[in-house]
Amino acid sequence: MKITALRPDFTQLEQELLTVFYFEDQDTASFTALKQQSPTLIDSLLKKKALSAKLGSVTPLIGHANLPCSHLLVIGCGKIADFSERSFIATIKTLVVEAKKSVSTSVAIAIDEIKPAQRSTRWCVEKATETLLTGLYQYDTTKSKKAEPSVLTHIAYLAGEQDLELAMQTGKSMAHGINLARELGNLPANICDPTFLAEQSVNLADAYDEIDVEIIEEAQMTEMGMGAFLAVSQGSDKAGKIIVLKYNGGQAGQKPHVLVGKGLTFDSGGISIKAAAGMEEMKWDMLGAASVLGTLSAIAELKPAINVIGVIATAENMVSGGATRPGDVVTCMNGKTVEIINTDAEGRLVLCDTLTYVERFEPASVIDIATLTGAIVVGLGHHATGVYANDEQLQAKLLSAGLNSWDRGWPMPLWDDYKVDLESPYADFRNVGSRAGGSITAALYLSEFTQNYSWAHLDIAGTGWYSAKEGATGRPVAMLTRYLLDRAE
Ligand code: BES
Ligand code: MN
Ligand code: ZN
């Protein structure tokens, strides 16, 4: 995809498709140009009330207007004062759907005309690029009939400001990372298993000189005493793995930022088996891992001067004669013991040993990303990622990265008050609390393993995906990428 920036001149456009933004209460430059070039057409459309300014409405004008583009789309934008980031993204999503339908190879977007209050042209260009390129993604890998490839090859932003190269590149790389995470998420568990994730990681390391990869197998985990991780993996015929990807963009001695992704390629619940209805959704229980790969891919393309280590804790939670029983007590890598009350609370078990493992990197920060609890979906629904941290500054940085990339999180508490729920008569902890505050007790369990560094936990069970039709969202690749880019500046 070629992406460029041009100064707006609506009479000189070479693009096939021009989007004309139409507000209820103010004429944009593109609409004014259309009115000037084709006054009779616009007059009659206005008289017939055939042009709608309602947000998201589309009026295509093909071959009628006296403008050089063969195809015009008048896109309704509502009232100028109501036009928010949400409206901006909705408008770009409408645009990409219509651009696909129009079979145009190039599109011109007067981006300054739809700037939400408080946002810069650069922000709009970055977000529009990400939204356009993620809007073109279509899952078809396991279908015999492949999706029609899009013919769109050129996006031209019409903008007063011309220093937009970085914004375009950032949006593009974020989109590539997001689409990678979505594809890995959407693949079924019989294809995307721990070995597959390891292969994908090797491919990423092969593609970039800055990335090295190491894969830790179960034999090594046994040596390291990762009793909690192995208790999850032992019920499956597929071996679990810890994948370590190192992006070396900074100085050799510079402390790395570590991302740890939950990579349960399938979560049946184990002996505490899940209900049949909707169990297929648990192929998405590796979206934390997918977001780590997606973020590293974006970072590898953008090459900021920082060191990042992506760690993927991947296994399958299955049922077998060798599976862990409720009530089993295991010893974690840090020597603490845990009574496994519910084998379906497996994410925290694979993560706790992985979080102990990453201490050796002397990290600047550690962020784990996990589809950890159904409770966060009850609490925050599908719009906000739950953001926990043992360091308020780190939490604030992630919330601000989320706001800036419009991949938003919301702060959650890690108060000791909730901790009594994890007490066990037989071990140092039990692996589940009561039903109340289920996402918080899960985070508190993890906090027992992260006391030696600055740590945050993102519960993405609600935001990583929300319906079978839409599939994986690729969140929070944008938030994480923005967080890391900001650390380099
Ligand atoms: N992977 C699930 C959490 C989940 C639920 C993700 C719904 C996406 C959508 C996790 O392993 C799990 O099963 N959690 C249990 C914990 C409970 C047993 C304490 C849950 O949330 O019900
Ligand atoms: Mn589970
Ligand atoms: Zn799970």
CATH code, domain with 131: 3.40.220.10
Q: For a ligand 1 pocket test, name from 344, 434, 440, 460 the mutation site with the most ligand atoms within 8 angstroms of its C-beta.
A: 344
Q: What is the pLDDT of residues 193-237, one digit of tens each?
A: 999 999 999 999 999 999 999 999 999 999 999 999 999 999 999
Q: Which of 119, 274, 336, 419 is catalytic?
A: 274
Residues 61 and 198 in one domain: no
Inside any domain, residue 168: no
Residues 307 and 232 in one domain: yes
Does ligand 1 come within 6 angstroms of the Cβ of 345? yes
User: Which ligand number lies closest to the CA of residue 374?
Assistant: 1
Is the predicted pLDDT of residue 156 greater than 70, yes or no? yes
Residues 114 and 225 in one domain: no
Inside any domain, residue 167: no
- Which of 160, 190, 213 represents a domain boundary (last residue)? 160
Instruction: Read off the pLDDT band of 375 (50, 70, 90).
Output: very high
Give the position, in ligand 1's atom list, of the atom nearest the Cα of 317. Answer: 11
CA pair distance 45, 62, nearest whole angstrom: 14
Residues 125 and 216 in one domain: no
How much is the pLDDT for 420?
86
371 Cα to the center of ligand 1, angstroms: 7
Give the position, in ligand 1's atom list, of the atom nearest the Cα of 438. Answer: 19
Tokens at 405, concatenated:
């990339």
Inside any domain, residue 169: no
Model's pTM, two decimal places? Answer: 0.98
DSSP 348: H
Is the predicted pLDDT of residue 283 greater than 70, yes or no? yes
How much is the pLDDT for 67?
79
User: Positive or negative, the Cα torsion across 407, 408, 413, 419?
Assistant: negative
Nearest to residue 366, comparing CAs of 236, 248, 475, 456?
456
Whole-number mean pLDDT of the chain? 96
Residues 141 and 182 in one domain: no
Q: Which of 348, 397, 482, 487 is catalytic?
A: 348
274 counts as catalytic: yes
Is the predicted pLDDT of residue 398 greater than 80, yes or no? yes
Q: What is the pLDDT of residues 411-429, one digit of tens each?
A: 999 999 999 889 999 999 9
Q: Tell me the residue ranges of DSSP E strands in 56-170.
A: 58-62, 71-76, 106-109, 154-158
User: Which ligand number lies closest to the CA of residue 373?
Assistant: 1
Residues 204 and 331 in one domain: yes
Mean of pLDDT values over 444-455: 98
Is the predicted pLDDT of residue 69 greater than 90, yes or no? no
Residues 144 and 198 in one domain: no
Residues 153 and 182 in one domain: no
Does ligand 1 come within 6 angstroms of the Cβ of 432? yes
How much is the pLDDT for 62?
81
User: Which ligand number lies closest to the CA of residue 279?
Assistant: 1
Inside any domain, residue 78: yes
Residues 242 and 363 in one domain: yes
47 counts as catalytic: no
**Structural domain boundaries, residue 307:** 176-488
Is the predicted pLDDT of residue 65 greater than 80, yes or no? no
Inside any domain, residue 18: yes
Side by side, which strands form the sheet with 257-267?
A: 211-216, 241-248, 307-317, 257-267, 365-370, 455-459, 385-389, 409-411
CA pair distance 233, 44, nearest whole angstrom: 68
How much is the pLDDT for 70?
84
Inside any domain, residue 165: no
Residues 114 and 202 in one domain: no
Instruction: Read off the pLDDT band of 64 (50, 70, 90).
Output: low
How much is the pLDDT for 489?
66
Q: What is the pLDDT of residues 97-142, one digit of tens each?
A: 999 998 999 999 999 999 999 999 999 999 999 999 999 999 999 9
Inside any domain, residue 462: yes
Residues 153 and 204 in one domain: no
- Which of 98, 125, 160 represents a domain boundary (last residue)? 160
Q: For a ligand 1 pocket test, name from 343, 369, 373 the mutation site with the most ligand atoms within 8 angstroms of its C-beta.
A: 373
Quote the crossing angle between the two packed helices 39-47 and 29-37, to the nearest 10°: 110
Query: What total number of domains does the chain contain?
Result: 2
Of 158-167, 305-314, 365-374, give the lowest mean pLDDT range: 158-167
The answer for residues whose C-beta is within 8 angstroms of residue 51's C-beta and 6 or more apart is: 22, 42, 45, 59, 74
Mean of pLDDT values over 456-460: 99
Residues 140 and 189 in one domain: no
Does ligand 1 come within 6 angstroms of the Cβ of 431? no
Inside any domain, residue 52: yes
CATH assignment of the domain containing 284: 3.40.630.10
